[in-house]
Structure 1
Amino acid sequence: MPPGRTEVQVRPGVEADLAPLTAIYNHYVRETAVTFDTVPFLPEERRPWLLSHPEDGPHRLMVAQRDKPGILGYATSSALRPKPAYSTSVEVSVYLAPDAGGQGIGTLLYEALLGALADEDLHRAYAGITLPNEASVRLHERFGFRHIGTYAEVGRKFQRYWDVAWYELPLGPGA
């Protein structure tokens, strides 16, 4: 580890993380097509999202930080679709603070998230990646996700249309 750097810890997200998690997400809302949200959120508007990710169960929120204050990023598993038959599938995602890319933090977050999900009654994880995004494609492929299709020009943001590639990872026994 380079001098002056502290080790990254990954832990479940808590309500006290709401403001920094919202700030990270809002960066992607304002600056990128990674999310198709177009209007930044106030922390209190994101509270239902945070509370929908308890410390146990299939919908998790994992947060990465160093010993010093400041969140480096987070990973989530959320409901894929609201209908009951989808309950054994989750959508996963990772968001990093703007200065936290390229440090292996996304890998640490996915290791923790997928490890936490290992004992849940889940069959598949899915990830949608707005293209182009080679870093996200590499991250997902490193964990065994495979490309299953692309929605062409499915979202419009910043006056252009964006494709979203979908990736799938088998979970649970026999995966």
Structure 2
Amino acid sequence: MSTERTEVQVRPGVEGDLVSLTGLYNHYVRETAFTFDTEIFTPEERRPWLLSHPVDGPHRLMVAVTPDSQEILGYATSSPYRAKPAYATSVETTVYVSPHAGRRGVGTLLYEALFEALSGEDLHRAYAGIAQPNEASARLHERFGFRYVGTYREVGRKFGRYWDVAWYEKPL
């Protein structure tokens, strides 16, 4: 695993990544209940999302790429937790890894880079909602100091059934 991890670079996401990032996210929209979006996106529809994650500040987008081809292997974000001003020091984090890049430590590298980038920001808590079941995501978040705080039961409907979301929090 360590050999494969060295073949991955993590950097801030840029506009040139938009098509690949959209394709990766659309895989999760089409194939999983890990996101509750139900319709795929065009890159233009995803552009506001990408632009809401600048290279500095509390709302970041980090991408994992292969050094040679710059193929995107995954991404992690910190986004506003809620829109109201009192939530400004809280972020919601998420990570998506390309299906062919799983079990290579990509998620770990992404979260290491994301939390390092956030370390100087005026943030108090990070939250993560994990659609159930998803043991791999729960393990990743727990390794980074997230603690389980509760479950919203049957909060989302996708693929003709209801899904639970387990919520985790981490002090920053």
Structure 1 stretches of 5 or more lacking a match? none
After superposition, where does 1:36-115 map in structure 2 within 5 Å? 36-69=36-69, 70-115=71-116
Structure 2 matches for 1:25-44, cutoff 5 A?
Answer: 25-44=25-44
Residue 132 of structure 2 is matched in structure 1 by 131
Cα separation, 2, equivalents of 1:73 and 1:27? 12
The question of whether the paired residues in 2 share the 8 Å contact of 1:6 and 1:66 is answered with: no
Q: Residue 162 of structure 1 corresponds to which residue in structure 2?
A: 163
Q: CA deviation at 1:98?
A: 1.3
Contact preservation (8 Å) 1:59, 1:79: yes
Aligned structure 1 segments of 4 or more residues deviating by more than 3 angstroms: none
CA RMSD of the aligned region, Å? Answer: 1.2
Q: In the TM superposition, what is the alpha-carbon distance from 1:71 to its structure 2 partner?
A: 0.3
Alpha-carbon offset, residue 6 of structure 1:
6.0
Gaps of 5+ in 2: none
Q: How many residues are aligned here? A: 170
CA positional deviation for 1:68: 2.7
Shift of 1:66: 1.0
TM-score normalised according to structure 2 size: 0.96
Q: Matches of 2:32 and 2:39 in 1, distance apart? A: 12
TM-score by length of 1: 0.95
Counterpart residue number, 2:7 = 7
- Partner of 1:99, secondary structure, is helix
